[in-house]
Amino acid sequence: MLIFLLILNYSCQRSASHRNSRTLPEPPPYFSEGRAEDQGSVMPVANRKNEHIKIAFLAMETNPWWTPVKAGVMEAKELLKEYNTEVDWIVAGDRHTADVFGIAIEAAMAQNYDGIACLAGDEGMIPFIKKAVDAGVAVATYNSETNKESARAFFIGADNYQQGRACGEKMAQLIGGKGKVAIITGFFAVEAHELRRTGFKDILSEKYPEITIAGEVENIDLADIAYTQATDFMSSFPDLAGIYITASGQFGAANAVKDYGKKGLVKVVCHDFLPETMGLVKEGVIQGVIDQSTKLQGRDTVIRLYNYIAGGIVPPFGKLLLDTPMATPDNVNQYWPD
Amino acid sequence: MNKTGTASIWQKYLRIREVNVFMALVVLIIIMSAASPYFLKQDNIFNVLRGMSTIGIMALGQTMVIITGGIDLSVGSLLAVSSMLTARLITVHDQSAFIAVLTGLSFGLFLGIMNGLIITRFKINAFITTLGMLSIGRGLTYLLATGVKGSVASNIPMQNGFIVFLGNGYLGPVPFSVVLLLILLFLASLFLRHTVPGRYIYAVGSNERSARLSGVPVNKVRVFVYAISGFFCALAGIILTGRLSTAATNIGLGNELDVIAAVVIGGASLQGGEGTVTGAIIGATIMAIVRNAFVLLHIPNHFQTITIGIVIILAVGFDQLLKRKVKNL
């Protein structure tokens, strides 16, 4: 038993000293933000010391949103094989909260990963990220992080507030700048959803005073609840002009519009290029879907994390904002060919 | 009529458990009708009823489970796994809707039986067993959803006419799922009130020891109620798949709380021995009307969640208050 503990202690010290021997560069200012010129085309740099590098991408596999993320990570994994780098897609759990992802960070540290990519939409993640960075592990966040500063090196994702504003602008165009609009949001308690919701409302109140909000409800990301809520809105507001859905369950609301016989009459604007949403865009039920370059959240995060560790390459901004294309019935085939 | 006679009739009515909760529903309907001109519109009423029909169907099974003194936390997951299995059989494996529905229903029934067997044979607490099944069911849902596109769970689209009819079809002006709920309510009510196995369910919940000594097959009754619960969850899952034209991986998430709340609002006692399916459906309707009120009355964001909690407490409190009044009459 004593021998086992000694061996364990030695291994831990060895791995810790291996990580600590690497000096990570100073990350960019936390709140600096912008679009990287090489978005989607960033390539791996030379592995200066040709050391073996291990990167853990902490993720979930609970819904279709993750399919393009995983595709992006796998693309990066293939690219990095030539650079003596191992990339592992690790399913942290089925919730993106700190109790799940924090434990996954600790587990990745125990497995001697040199870099960790994770979601950080929960402030509870901050101490876990600090622990990893203090131990010499480079951490990058993707998709969501809180406004409170953490020790991560950089973030890659879309600007949720601007996405909300873009959706508001699209809705206003669709309904001719006047009418009643309903908002179905995922969770009032999720920062990303709130940013989208407030962005949507802000643009309407700033530029389109003749548009009123018929109501705001949360569907806890569930399609069946969104379906019922959309139907409720349409029956209680016969003159309803549009519905904006901030998060998941979009197809529930869109199907309700179709079933209620209001296809094209009640405009639907929502998020994320998914088979369910894009099919409904092609049918003309959804008039606008904004994307968040989901695949790049996997690909670019992994490659930039490698470049940061192996080449000391510091990204131009702390928050690397991704493009957010909008698919409409007119251009849907460009983004989602048959 | 003298005072004692009036009190006696009043007492007699209030002893019927559904009456208390029905009165709460009537009060809510009166308030809503006064508050919103749209509330009593035919469209809105059917929307509310259609929205609650799947919770209602699951509440029928949950009521029987709760009457026996048990609890089924796995309902949302059993709904999801049956939904996904049915959709997968049709969309991925080209099976007929009949085979797929039959398999989906059988699988829900099977998982329900497993719940019952684990509780009765291994003497594992119902809360723990069904909590475990909640996880197993959700995991199986993800498993069934994978393989369609890579290893990430994907929603499965559902365009089969029969399944879509189950969720979205109408019989005259009434949504099919509402008609089905009413038929099932009638049958379940008849079963609980007028058949020997139905009375066994109350006997097991009232006093298990006495029931056993009286020759009631307690374990079989317990397995039966969980099996029925599993079956109803599967049925609700298939209906929901039709309504959404999609089997979603997160379908039914958190439904256990809505279903249990509906049953408890409906007058069932978590101690067992008390409860009716009619009460549970009234409870589910109350919950659905409250959610409908969020839209109709523009209830501000954060008050929506508070409102749900207040309504649950008020509805159960109203029931308890009336019970005490009856005792004092």
A166, B63, B136, B322 from B276: Cα distances, Å: 51, 7, 29, 17
Judged by DSSP in three states, A178 sits in: coil
Q: Give domain limits for chain B.
A: 12-328
pLDDT tens for A89-117 read: 998 877 777 778 888 899 889 889 999 99
Q: Which residues pair with A320 in a beta bridge?
A: A34, A156
Q: Do A64 and B155 touch (CB under 8 A)?
A: yes
Query: What pLDDT, on a 0 to 100 scale, did the predictor assign at position A252?
Result: 94
In chain A, whose CA is at the least distance from the CA of B44?
A: A235
The DSSP letter of residue A89 is: E
Q: Which residues of B fall within a CB distance of 8 Å from A214? A: 295, 298
Q: Which residues of B fall within a CB distance of 8 Å from A67? A: 149-150, 152, 154
In chain B, whose CA is at the least distance from the CA of A69?
A: B152
pTM over 0.90: no
Judged by DSSP in three states, B169 sits in: coil
Cross-chain CB nearest to A255 (options B245, B249, B301): B245
Sort A190 into a burial class: Cβ within 10 Å, 0-12 / 13-18 / 19+.
Answer: buried
Query: What pLDDT, on a 0 to 100 scale, did the predictor assign at position A231?
Result: 94
Whole-number Å distance between alpha carbons of B218 and B26: 37
- Rounded average pLDDT per 10-residue block, chain B, 329 residues: 57 66 89 88 87 95 96 96 96 94 98 97 95 94 75 80 93 94 97 95 93 94 98 97 88 90 89 92 92 80 77 78 68
**What are the tokens at B239?**
């209906």
Chain A nearest-CA distance from B236, in A, is: 12
For B146, other C-beta atoms within 10 Å of its C-beta total: 15
Asked: is B12-328 a CATH 1.10.3470 domain? The reply is: yes
For B98, other C-beta atoms within 10 Å of its C-beta total: 9
Whole-number Å distance between alpha carbons of B81 and B76: 9
Whole-number Å distance between alpha carbons of A246 and A137: 34
Query: What pLDDT, on a 0 to 100 scale, did the predictor assign at position B326?
Result: 65
Sheet containing strand A85-91, strands side by side: A33-34, A319-321, A154-157, A138-145, A115-120, A53-59, A85-91
The DSSP letter of residue B274 is: -
Sort B168 into a burial class: Cβ within 10 Å, 0-12 / 13-18 / 19+.
Answer: buried
Residues of chain A with pLDDT under 50: 1, 8, 10-18, 20
Query: What pLDDT, on a 0 to 100 scale, did the predictor assign at position B150?
Result: 54
Q: Do A231 and B51 touch (CB under 8 A)?
A: yes
Q: Which residues of B fall within a CB distance of 8 Å from A188? A: 301-302, 305
pLDDT tens for A228-248 read: 999 999 998 999 999 999 998
List, in order, residues 6 or more apart from A14 with CB less than 8 Å away.
none
- Taking every pair of Cα atoms in chain B, the longest distance, rounded to a whole number of angstroms, is 76
Show the domains of chain A with their CATH numbers. Answer: 25-158+294-322 (3.40.50.2300), 160-291 (3.40.50.2300)
